[in-house]
Amino acid sequence: MGCGESEAICLAAHAAIKFPQTCYKPDPLGGPPIPYDCSKTATGWNLGRDFPGSDWSMKYCFKRTECVENPPIQLKYNCEGGDTSFAYNAIPFGVVNCGPPSEAFEAQSTNEFGDRVTLAGTARELDSLSVSFNSYGCETGHWYDGLCQSTPGATFTHPITANIYDPAVSLTVPIASVTQNEVIPFRPAADGAAHGCPDPAMWWNPDGNGGAGRCQYSIVKVLVFGFPSGITLPDEVVWSVQFNTSHSGYNPIGETACNLDPAGCPYDSLNVGTKSFTNAPFVGIDPNEAEAYWDGWRWNGTPSTMGANGCYPSYGPTCMEIDFGPDSINNSSDAAPQDWTGYRPLGAIRTK
């Protein structure tokens, strides 16, 4: 039996009877369903009474917080734990409500972005790459002007490429690459003023901050990129994503109809999440948190450089560099040394 919308385990039975019950929650990172072992004595609440509007009359529920088995029940609030069934995972269970910062592509002239990681376990056939994205786009208005309006559930579609490199061989030619047309949500309408947010342009996420609510500018979406069978990975890889925006990417889209719209083009407001969550990575190793792998143009107008092998990328698919300094976090030119400590790119690699 599945979990209901009320986030309770619902039992169609009489009270005071013990029911061994397994409830499954979808893995937010695209893995197999996560089971909860919730054997309890049915002394719960009547749905019709305690969950108004429910059509499950004469059934009884236990709140998930009464289920004591691991993994933690309130996964959507969990920012300090993640799925360990991956070979590498820096994304917490509740990332969509954890408010991570992000690295911009359009605003920071980014072509490609990712991280170098060491895989756990012995399974080395590539299955998928999951990456956490932040969407700031609105159907009308902008994320920053207080005029953002979006129909609940509204989305846009954009092609994104996921790559896996063997850093011992090349950061020019990936050993695996896949492009998918991804469905990405618009961020919700601005309602910050009604919730006491520091900026009325923000929207109120009632599930943020452990269920106490959070004011935020973007909405988080984890995208899962599936790869064909037969790709064997080394122990250490660099994962990355790349996509084009109006003026960034390996093949910039250029000015189109959406650039003339006051809301702009939604893909210009799409970023990759970056945060070093407590206890992360939850499986696998990030060999150097200070590093991220990045290709693009600097704020001072120069292309990125690959210090390890002397590669100087041009505005085209050449190679990625070891980058120091989260531009969109510090709003700087990288002219002075910085590093990514605290802002780990949010990815997860599944093998089989």
pLDDT at 297: 72
Give residue-wise pLDDT tens across range 31-43: 666 554 444 333 3
Write down the number of H helices and E strands in the chain: 3, 21
pLDDT at 5: 33
pLDDT at 331: 30
Position 20 pLDDT exceeds 90: no
pLDDT at 31: 63
Comparing CA positions, the residue from 130, 243, 148, 133 lying closest to residue 187 is 148
Determine if residue 331 is left, alpha or beta; phi over 0 gives left, psi from -120 to 50 gives alpha, anything else beta: left
List the chain domain ranges: 8-73, 88-351
More confident: 119 or 22: 119
Query: Which amino acid would we find at residue 70?
Result: N
Entry field: residues in the chain: 352
Q: Are strands 219-226 and 60-63 parallel, antiparallel or unpaired?
A: unpaired
pLDDT at 161: 97
Query: Which amino acid would we find at residue 283?
Result: V
Q: Are strands 292-296 and 321-323 parallel, antiparallel or unpaired?
A: antiparallel
Residue 180: other Cβ atoms inside 10 A: 15
Position 8 pLDDT exceeds 50: no
What CA–CA distance (Å, rounded) separates 236 from 108?
27
Position 12 pLDDT exceeds 60: no
In 257-328, beta strands by DSSP E: 270-273, 292-296, 321-323
**Average pLDDT for residues 186-197, to the nearest whole number?**
95
Q: What percent of the chain has pLDDT over 70?
A: 67
More confident: 227 or 63: 227
pLDDT at 54: 35
**Average pLDDT for residues 121-130, to the nearest whole number?**
97
pLDDT at 75: 79
Give residue-wise pLDDT tens across range 230-268: 999 999 999 999 999 999 999 999 999 999 888 899 999
Give residue-wise pLDDT tens across range 288-305: 998 888 888 754 444 443
Average pLDDT, the chain: 76
Q: 71: which DSSP letter?
A: S
pLDDT at 211: 87
95-104, 184-193, 317-326: the lowest-pLDDT one: 317-326
What CA–CA distance (Å, rounded) separates 132 from 144?
21
Cβ pair 288, 302 in contact under 8 A = no
96-110, 130-144, 311-325: the lowest-pLDDT one: 311-325
Position 49 pLDDT exceeds 50: no
pTM for the whole structure: 0.76
Q: Find all residues with CB under 8 Å of 183, minimum gap 6, and list them.
A: 155, 156, 157
More confident: 314 or 101: 101
More confident: 39 or 220: 220
- Where do runs of H (alpha helix) occur along the chain? 47-50, 257-260, 327-330
User: Apex CA 326: angle with CA 188 and CA 171, to 5°?
Assistant: 110
**Average pLDDT for residues 41-70, to the nearest whole number?**
36
Position 53 pLDDT exceeds 80: no
pLDDT at 156: 97
**Average pLDDT for residues 62-66, to the nearest whole number?**
37
Position 279 pLDDT exceeds 80: yes
